[in-house]
Structure 1
Amino acid sequence: MSTIPFTKGHGTGNDFVIVADPDGDLDLTGEQIAALTDRRFGIGADGLLRVVRSAAIDAGAHTPDAEWFMDYRNADGSVAEMCGNGVRVFVKYLLSAGLATLAPGETLRIGTRAGTKSVTLSDNGFEVDLGLWRPEAGDVLVRGRGLAVARPGLGIDVGNPHVVVALSSSDELEQLDLTVQPVLDPLPPAGANVEFVVPAEPLVHDGVGAIRMRVFERGVGETLSCGTGVAASALAVRHWAGPTAPDRWTVDVAGGRLGVRVVRTDAGERVLLSGPASLVFSGEVALV
């Protein structure tokens, strides 16, 4: 039985097992990843981040403009395109391990299955440019335990798929039972993370919008935070609020607070996510 070193990290409570594999020598199976992330019999995490050089990743995910590639897997071992909290934790690990540097004003590029993401330092940790976003055509009907009736949801793509549902009150948000996966009709081809949001009162203060959010992540379940879900939620509420809505937002999740801002470019609107990242402990674990 072989052992591998690992580090545990999190971004606003969205936690990850981090495994360094610079040369791409490890071939972790879905079953091994599920065992490592198991909260009772393993290390415990919402997902796994494999730290591998882009040159060593399979050709389908190769990002030659970034030295490092974030191979992200959900807790059930399934492959995911992107993770906004995961990118920040990934960068925190690279800096701590001496594998990269990032000074104020500099940009560190990270490869993902949703393309290369640029990361900079921010006042509250790191800011990740998630790229261009788009709303999906048509509503998705969402049924969730604790909701009296199904609600329409807006599909938002920020490198991975999301469906955002607006609720009327904090009570409605808190009574949701997200131990049961929400049902989507129609179900997007690749599934989707599902976010439930409630606006703050007032929605906008000093030019900054504010909302609360809970999330059910594909392949994981309810998590304390979801970075791309935070971005999708802010974008959905901004979309519903109309052309006078602000470009800066704060989003409160169970694990803390994250920032979202929208930058307008000739190619369209880019969305950026900012927040903290922490490394908790390191050790070795047996692979079974």
Structure 2
Amino acid sequence: MLIEFTKMHGLGNDFVVIDAIRQQIDLTAEKIRFIADRHFGVGCDQLLMVEYALHSDADFRYRIFNADGSEVAQCGNGARCFARFIRDKKLSYKDNILVDTHAGQLLLTFDDDGLITVNMGVPRHKPALIPLNTEQEEKFYTVKVGDVEKAFGAVSMGNPHAVLQVMDVKLAEVEEVGAALENHVCFPERANIGFMQLIDRNKIKLRVYERGAGETLACGSGACAAVVIGIEQGVLANDVLVELPGGPLKIHWQGRNHPVFMTGPAVSVFEGSIEL
């Protein structure tokens, strides 16, 4: 089976994007792992699939697979690349594209400055909806990692996120703490782990250890989660510039019961085909 693909990235968070409308695709988890392998395949953090919409009001279906082959419900940087792919491949010329995902519907908007804004939906705070194994909703939760107790905020952006405040993201133990928390028993579906350094009320630095992928250069849903949690904890304003290793994202959130808006770039790197 020969598959045509496009390699893309959003702030260094890289993707293999596949058109499953104009070509017939049958990918197993093993094949996805092969494509994502940076030595023997193409290499990517996630693989994205463009499919026919599930609902009559949507334009397309947006599916996301981690490098380990697992399917997930949300990826913000991927959503911007998804929109850019649709425009570049002339699948749609709309400025506003509504897509079905496992986490609900997302609205993708092309801005006049070439950036793409994604309506990431309304965050979910109740532990059962994150999901997080605790009954009481809190601004800070605590858990032991080794012999050290860690405090974090938690929210779902269509996927589970935990965010820890750190003094300096450069010194944060992202690999060790991220891996331990991702698979902690308190997260029944695992979680993405963010490490947030506060600069001021309108700016943070962030590193994210992504579920099923490890640390990436940027995580769009992670940036949204960090801002939501920072606002909930009273340390951030409604408009925040999030500096990730791969570059900046602009996040806007008005508060409870409002959707989160994320704005940033999406870039096509190259076209290719792979035999599976």
1:250–1:164 distance in 2 versus 1, CA, 3 Å:
same
Residues 36-58 of structure 1: CA distance to partner in whole angstroms, max 9, x if unpaired? 0101111000010111112xxxx
TM-score (norm 2): 0.88
Distance in 2, matches of 1:224 and 1:271, equals 21
The reply to whether residue 42 of structure 1 matches residue 31 of structure 2 is no
Structural mapping, 1:98-113, within 5 Å? 98-103=90-95, 107-113=96-102
Structural mapping, 1:1-288, within 5 Å? 2-22=1-21, 25-54=24-53, 62-103=54-95, 107-122=96-111, 123=113, 125-135=115-125, 136=127, 137-138=137-138, 139-141=141-143, 143=145, 149-173=148-172, 176-177=174-175, 181-183=179-181, 185-200=184-199, 203-204=200-201, 209-241=202-234, 245-263=236-254, 268-287=257-276
Matched letter for residue 182 of structure 1: A
How much does 1:169 deviate? 3.0
Distance in 1, matches of 2:155 and 2:114, equals 25
Task: Tell me which protein shows more strand as a share of its residues.
Answer: 1
SS at match of 1:268: coil
Report the counterpart of residue 58 of structure 1 in structure 2: none
Once the two structures are overlaid, the 10-residue window that deviates more, 178-187 or 12-21, is 178-187
**Segments of 4+ moved more than 4 angstroms:** none
SS at match of 2:71: coil
Distance in 1, matches of 2:24 and 2:106, equals 24
Does the 8 Å contact 1:65/1:116 carry over to 2? no
Distance in 2, matches of 1:249 and 1:169, equals 18
Distance in 1, matches of 2:36 and 2:204, equals 30
How much does 1:222 deviate? 0.7
Distance in 2, matches of 1:285 and 1:113, equals 27
Once the two structures are overlaid, the 10-residue window that deviates more, 16-25 or 39-48, is 16-25
| Structure 2 unpaired stretches of 5+ | 128-136
User: RMSD of the alignment, in Å?
Assistant: 2.1
SS at match of 1:150: strand
Residues 202-229 of structure 1: CA distance to partner in whole angstroms, max 9, x if unpaired? x13xxxx111111111111111111000
Distance in 2, matches of 1:179 and 1:196, equals 10
% identity of equivalent residues = 32
Does the 8 Å contact 2:175/2:215 carry over to 1? no
How much does 1:263 deviate? 3.6
TM-score (norm 1): 0.84
Matched letter for residue 129 of structure 1: N
SS at match of 1:132: coil
Matched letter for residue 250 of structure 1: L
Matched letter for residue 143 of structure 1: V
Count of equivalent residues: 262
Matched letter for residue 83 of structure 1: C
